[in-house]
Amino acid sequence: MKFPKLLTLLALFCLNSALFAKDRPNILWISAEDHGPHLGCYGDEYATTPNLDTFAKRALRYTKASSNAPVCAPARTTIISGMYPPSLGAHNMRSRVPSPSYLKFFPTYLREAGYYTTNNNKEDYNLLTDDKGWDDSSKTAHWKNRPNPDQPFFAIFNYTASHESQIRNENKNPQHDPALAPVPPYHPDIPEVRKDWAQYYDRLTLIDNHFQARLDELEEAGLAEDTIVIFWSDHGSGMPRGKRYPGWSGLHVALMVHVPEKFKHLAPSEYLPGGTSDRLVSFVDYAATTLSLAGIKPPSYYHGKAFLGEYQTKAPAFSFGFKGRMDERPDSCRTVTDGRYVYIRNYYPHLPHGQYLYYQQQTNTTNMWYQLFNDGKLNDVQSAFWQPHPAEELFDLASDPHETVNLAASKKHRKKLNQLRDALQQHQNRTRDLSFIPEPMLREVMAKGESPAEAFAHYFEPNQNRKKTPNSKISKYWRLVELLSSKPAKIEKAMPSAIAALDDKEPIVAVTAAEVVALHSSDDAARSKAIDLLVEYSHFPKYELILSIYAINALNHIHDAGIELPDSANDIEQKPAETPDWASAYRPRALELFQD
């Protein structure tokens, strides 16, 4: 008697699956790496993207979409988690931190609801977890492989033809004339730069062809009217001061959504084929939005808000961005925009946006631009990228779309500066931004098994006496960082404290103190001690990996300042056997700048 019951249950399951497929849409994401909205449908007359332009005529095009982070791994972490990575300790490039136990990647919710979930094929998340939510994540992953043809699917196809690395590859079939390339004012207008911009646009044409191939598959399978198609690009262009730049040229992305007629009830009120939306949307919203399209209520702990589907929300007033360590170069910036003005808060103002980053320098434009800067052949706008940046920057995209005129000191814009500054501070408090904990300290805490929330409580929340004061190690670290960009009188006054901090038991405090002393102390003995300390902390695995990279960066800065390093600096091992794969190139790239 049990066997017929089982058949009945199976029949009901199949019936429910078929109904489920009819009631809920398939969702197809098509994404392309390292390019902003440089498409014909976005008004770029140099672009050759006929398929995407045609798609835009029957889709809603978002004009103010943002990637939250200007580089792939942190940006992708934002998408998959539905949360701002700084709240998870996952904001640094390839930081590889454990995911908290409560967090489910959004494909997991889709899979649990009956969707077939595929990713073809890049992941590159900063969070480590046993379940990423994919039925298949591989080069062969495809919605066609679902076991039941009536099962709804969520599928991603990610294309790398536009990736930064492709700009510097040999182009055997050039299509765009370099002489006509739109060179932004922050780049030098030289043949090498024009050639790279032309090749970048050639790559966008390849993406356009790949995109159409995926649409054709839907049509051939008869699923076009059952599938919501979303096209998006992955942060700014691979050209320098696009990718890795925390301003709008590094964060602004293309985003277009097509909702078939049968699912128009899931579209936003402003949806119109061929229309545009000025709503501020960003990568952090993609998880909640995709769940909303599938009829799944987004979890309350997600930071992102749905802009499509059953659970869509009202438009936000601001969009937020972040930048942490980029490969071998520590950095810390935060961005907020209201859609017109962009505010950037730089927490390491002693460093330029254009730090000498090995991978970025492989692009010919970057090398030529850097050489011209060193030769003193650039104007002020072109030089700014390579110079230390101020703590605060404010740009008006309406009058200055390339972000070349900093309005932060303008009395006329003081009200707007204060508004965006306050919005950013509230956002950081609300999302519990962990970036104020130096990465070596954060990694030390996580190595002990603490979650990011535990790390936040450990350093910032009320202690046993219920006094809400920052951890003294954190405060000391940031006071020393501030000295790296302070005026000489302030540095001289603080020098005794900096010298004393060379003996601090917290390694990152001692490393930062050593950089201050080595660069600014007039005491030869203290400077020598500081440099020797940095050489010592540069050794891995004796000291934590990222701590050693901070120490090596400090030695880079000292060497760049014309201060001689001891012979022992040449003995720092570039790539110890214990170096994890994700960081295998970081130490060699940073060390090569001063080792003989």
Question: Which residue numbers are catalytic?
Answer: 72
Strand partners, 128: 98
Per the listing, tokens 């078939």 go with 260
Strand partners, 233: 32
Local structure of 275: helix, strand or coil = coil
Distance CA 61, CA 181 (A): 24
Local structure of 230: helix, strand or coil = strand
Distance CA 253, CA 234 (A): 7
Q: Give the DSSP letter of residue 434.
A: G
* CA atoms 489, 492, 498, 500: torsion sign: negative
Identity of residue 557 = H
**Pick from 583, 171, 186, 96: nearest CA to 382:** 186
CA R_g for the chain: 25
Local structure of 572: helix, strand or coil = coil
Local structure of 384: helix, strand or coil = helix
Task: Say how many C-beta atoms besides its own lie within 10 A of residue 521's C-beta.
Answer: 20
Q: DSSP string covering 506-551, please? A: SHHHHHHHHHHHHHH---HHHHHHHHHHHHHHT-TTTS-HHHHHHH
Cis geometry, peptide bond prior to residue 541 (ω within 30 degrees of 0): yes
Whether the CB-CB separation of 573 and 548 falls below 8 Å is answered with no
**Helix axis angle, 545-560 to 524-537, nearest 10°:** 140
The backbone region for 308, taken as left when phi is positive above 0, alpha when psi lies in -120 to 50, beta otherwise, is beta
Identity of residue 496 = P
Local structure of 429: helix, strand or coil = helix
Phi then psi dihedrals of residue 280, to 5 deg = -75, 110
Whether the CB-CB separation of 521 and 533 falls below 8 Å is answered with no
Residue 534 token pair: 């940095």
